């Protein structure tokens, strides 16, 4: 674990808002030179604080109007069945996120589809045929509000 000072914290918050911000612009905002800011970003990256940068895609604009969260309870458990399930679930293009969770279900999947009929196809032909699947619970996303997190 790396110790973060005030400037590191401000840098992390700024990059969480705009991962494409330049070291020069960030440095100006934080009172640092571009090389000093770049060194801090590099140190944070090497320490594993940043796992990468990604685009925030607008699923409806891309034609995916339905998002469904699936709770999946496996019928059988064991290391092999967990790995088989995870490998197969992550291979489904409509499955955006696979999370192993503790509680009523073993996994939580975020699935996008063009519409409900498309989701039903994905559910029946892909998700329900995954290795080890027992019970499935579905929750359709109605709206989403994103917060920046604890930073």
Q: What is the pLDDT of residues 64-81, one digit of tens each?
A: 999 999 999 999 777 767
Q: What is the pLDDT of residues 17-33, one digit of tens each?
A: 888 899 999 999 999 99
Distance (Å, whole) CA 113 – CA 109? 13
Beta strands 66-74 and 133-140, pairing class: antiparallel
- N- to C-terminal Cα distance for the chain? 16
The three-point CA angle 134-138-140 to 5° equals 165
* CATH number belonging to the domain at 6-47, selected among 1.20.120, 3.10.20, 1.10.150, 1.10.10: 1.10.10
Query: What residues does each domain of the chain span?
Result: 6-47, 59-141
Rounded (to 5) percent helix, strand, coil in the chain:
40, 20, 40
Question: What's the pLDDT score for residue 151?
Answer: 61
Supply the pTM of this predicted model: 0.74
Q: Is CATH 1.10.533.10 correct for 59-141?
A: no
């Amino acid at each position: 674990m790396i110790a973060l000072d005030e400037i590191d914290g401000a840098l992390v918050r700024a990059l969480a808002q705009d991962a494409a911000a330049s070291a020069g612009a960030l440095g100006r905002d934080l009172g640092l030179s571009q090389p000093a800011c770049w060194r801090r970003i590099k140190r944070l990256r090497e320490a594993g604080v940043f796992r990468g940068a990604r685009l925030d895609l607008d699923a409806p604009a891309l034609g995916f109007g339905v998002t469904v969260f699936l709770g999946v309870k496996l019928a059988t458990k064991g290391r092999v069945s967990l790995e088989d399930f995870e490998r197969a679930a992550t291979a489904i293009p409509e499955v955006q996120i696979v999370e192993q969770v503790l509680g009523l279900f073993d996994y939580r999947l975020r699935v996008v589809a063009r519409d409900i009929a498309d989701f039903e196809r994905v559910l029946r032909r892909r998700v329900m045929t995954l290795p080890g699947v027992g019970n499935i619970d579905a929750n359709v996303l109605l709206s989403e509000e994103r917060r920046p997190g604890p930073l």
